[in-house]
């Protein structure tokens, strides 16, 4: 959407969803759900605003003390479930999400020898400073975790339902933020979500307008990088050939200003968004002013233009990954292109550690 079409009502609905997310997570935490799994981009701004709300509530009840509320202390695991499909890829979106389900199951089991997990770790080792966040969590004797995601058509989360079922992830609870209150859900996906809700496995939270969805790092701070040619090559590995499931995806945060200031507009955008949402979840009376600042900055800096995402991403991605070029999709996913010799070397290195 054009950021200039964003309304104060949209922001207030978004903030209400963040507050509801906090309350549901706190209830589930009391029931023994002690891990948040976040599929990188979509849910991240909601979670950050929910944490702002948690801090606000803590300050209101305990006074201005340095005390981190439970949501902030909760263990988190980010994984790039993004299923960007290029025209030259030999893997489907459901297969990509099946791969990440396999990785998640291995992490929860603490199985570092599992091939899908090893391949993810291998990519992180090749990625220099792009390898951010934890890739392991505290060992557990249960798979009870909260999976937070945004939902538009419902296809992605339905594919994740299938991936989780295939790998035994049957104790998680899905916390789903429904864009446009769920009005754009495809009938078959709506039925799958409703069935999960009926089984007590999912909770839905309506949002009038998830205006941060697929708008790139200017609204999430998260950069997602896929490597289509490497993904195709991974399918030839014995561990993946039989399943048809593979992925070559990383994500990174970059919201600090670079020395050359080339990412300053995106850094400032994230600051404006955080301030606006903090004001909204705190029921501040000046949210409209922060909305205007946010709109003016995003529009004036052309941050919804994929060309700018490409321009800002290239220096960092090319410095850390052995790629020859990048493309940027309409949803601001960065595709790192590799030549055949590089791919052959990486596959050989993974196969013969």
Q: What is the pLDDT of residue 140?
A: 75
Q: What is the pLDDT of residue 255?
A: 56
Closest CA to 49 of 73, 15, 12, 2: 15
**pLDDT (tens digit, 9 = 90+) per residue, 96-137?**
999 999 999 999 998 899 999 999 999 999 888 777 666 778
Q: What is the pLDDT of residue 319?
A: 87
In the chain, which residues have pLDDT < 70?
59-68, 86-89, 132-134, 254-262
Q: What is the pLDDT of residue 242?
A: 82
Q: Which residues contact 299 (CB under 8 A, 6 or more apart)?
A: 2, 3, 4
Dihedral over Cα of 100, 106, 112, 116: its sign: negative
Q: What is the pLDDT of residue 96?
A: 92
Tokens, residue 170: 């049957």
**pLDDT (tens digit, 9 = 90+) per residue, 337-348?**
999 999 999 999
Q: Which residues contact 161 (CB under 8 A, 6 or more apart)?
A: 174, 192, 196
Question: What is the phi/psi pair of residue 112, to 5°?
Answer: -75, -10
């Amino acid at each position: 959407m054009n950021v200039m079409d964003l309304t104060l009502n949209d922001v207030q609905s978004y903030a209400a969803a963040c507050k509801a997310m906090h309350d549901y997570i706190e209830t589930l935490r009391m029931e023994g759900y002690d891990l948040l799994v976040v599929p990188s981009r979509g849910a991240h701004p909601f979670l950050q605003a929910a944490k702002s709300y948690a801090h606000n509530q803590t300050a209101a009840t305990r006074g201005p003390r340095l005390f981190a509320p439970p949501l902030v202390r909760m263990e988190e695991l980010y994984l790039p479930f993004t299923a960007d499909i290029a025209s030259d890829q030999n893997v489907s979106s459901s297969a990509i999400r099946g791969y990440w389900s396999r990785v998640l199951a291995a992490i929860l089991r603490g199985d570092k020898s599992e091939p899908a997990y090893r391949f993810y770790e291998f990519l992180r080792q090749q990625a220099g400073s792009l390898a951010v966040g934890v890739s392991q969590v505290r060992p557990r004797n249960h798979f009870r975790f909260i999976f937070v995601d945004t939902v538009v058509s419902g296809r992605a989360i339905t594919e994740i339902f299938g991936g989780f079922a295939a790998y035994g992830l049957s104790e998680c609870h899905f916390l789903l933020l429904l864009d446009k209150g769920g009005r754009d859900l495809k009938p078959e996906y709506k039925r799958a979500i409703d069935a999960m809700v009926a089984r007590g496995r999912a909770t839905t939270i309506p949002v009038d307008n998830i205006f941060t969805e697929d708008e790139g790092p200017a609204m999430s701070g998260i950069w997602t990088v896929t490597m289509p040619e490497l993904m195709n090559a991974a399918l030839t590995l014995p561990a993946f050939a039989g399943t048809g499931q593979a992925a070559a995806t990383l994500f990174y945060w970059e919201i600090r200003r670079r020395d050359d200031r080339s990412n300053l507009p995106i850094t400032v955008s994230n600051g404006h968004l955080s301030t606006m949402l903090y004001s909204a979840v705190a029921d501040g009376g000046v949210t409209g002013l922060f909305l205007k600042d946010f709109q003016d900055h995003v529009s004036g800096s052309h941050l919804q233009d994929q060309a700018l995402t490409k321009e800002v991403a290239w220096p960092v991605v090319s410095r850390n990954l052995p790629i020859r070029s990048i493309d940027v999709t309409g949803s601001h996913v960065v595709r790192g292109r590799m030549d055949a010799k590089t791919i052959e070397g990486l596959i050989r290195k993974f196969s013969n550690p």
